[in-house]
Structure 1
Amino acid sequence: MAKYLLLKHYRGAPSPVNDVPMDQWTEDEITAHVQYMNDFADRLRNTGEFVDERALAQEGTWVRYDGEGRPPVTDGPFAETKDLIAGWMIIDVDSYERAVELAGELSAAPGKDGKPIHEWLELRPFYGHAPTITE
């Protein structure tokens, strides 16, 4: 088994595939999208492939070491940016191919008018655990 991070990005600007930003979805469309993700996570809980997940607030702060004492802190990222990390899921699967399969399925979550959003998900193995590619 290998653990992978599925990093969910919110696109605040139109993309070639998902041309309707989430702030233009109806409340029912948002509810359907969240329900799809919850059902997906529940199914993975039943197979033992689910580890954890979290949605992230739109507000954030940038912090970095300045070498002098108190690190500088700036506002951001902001929801107005074109790309914002919206949340993440950790899965524990038998193979890289299974991780790709699940990421593809999660990418099909419904959006505006119930159509799949074809969202890009960043799939990353945890450090020290190289992906097992069986192809």
Structure 2
Amino acid sequence: MAKYLLLKHYRGAPAAVNDVPMDQWTPEEVAAHIQYMNDFAARLESTGEFVDGQALSPEGTFVRYDGEGRPPVTDGPFPETKDLIAGWMVIDVDSYERALELAGELSAAPGAGGKPIHEWLELRPFLMAPPTVTE
């Protein structure tokens, strides 16, 4: 088994294939999208492939150590940016091919009008421990 991070990138119109930003979806469309995500996670829980997942708020803050002992804080990321990390899911699957299959399925979550949003997903394997050198 190998763990992968599915990092959900929300791209606002016009970059999105669906071309309707989420803040313009009806409450029913938002509910259908969330139900799709919950059903997807529940199915993977039943197969032992789901580890964890979470949606993220569009508000955030960037923090970086400045070398002076205090972290400068800047506003952002902003909801009006073209690319925003919307959430993540961790899966534990038998192969890279299975991870690709699930990422493609998750990308088809419904949006406005019930059409797939073709969401960009970043598929990242977890870094495994470096090999141990023995003599």
Give the Cα separation in 2 of the matches to 1:105 and 1:16: 17
CA contact (8 A) 1:12 1:79 kept: no
Pairing of 1:96-107 with structure 2 (within 5 A): 96-107=96-107
State the AA in 1 paired with 2:10: Y
Identity percentage of aligned residues: 82
> 2:41 matched to which residue of 1?
41
Unmatched 5+ stretches in structure 1: 130-135
Aligned residues: 129
**What is the CA RMSD across the aligned residues, in angstroms?**
1.1
Give the Cα separation in 1 of the matches to 2:67 and 2:28: 49
SS of structure 1 residue aligned to 2:8: strand
Q: Which runs of at least 4 in structure 1 moved beyond 2 Å after TM superposition?
A: none
SS of structure 1 residue aligned to 2:36: helix
Q: 1:60 to 1:15 in 2, by over 3 A?
A: same
Give the Cα separation in 1 of the matches to 2:17 and 2:77: 24
Q: 1:112 to 1:3 in 2, by over 3 A?
A: same
SS of structure 2 residue aligned to 1:105: helix
Unmatched 5+ stretches in structure 2: 130-135
Q: In terms of Rg, which structure is larger?
A: 2
> 1:51 matched to which residue of 2?
51
CA contact (8 A) 1:107 1:116 kept: yes
CA contact (8 A) 2:5 2:125 kept: yes
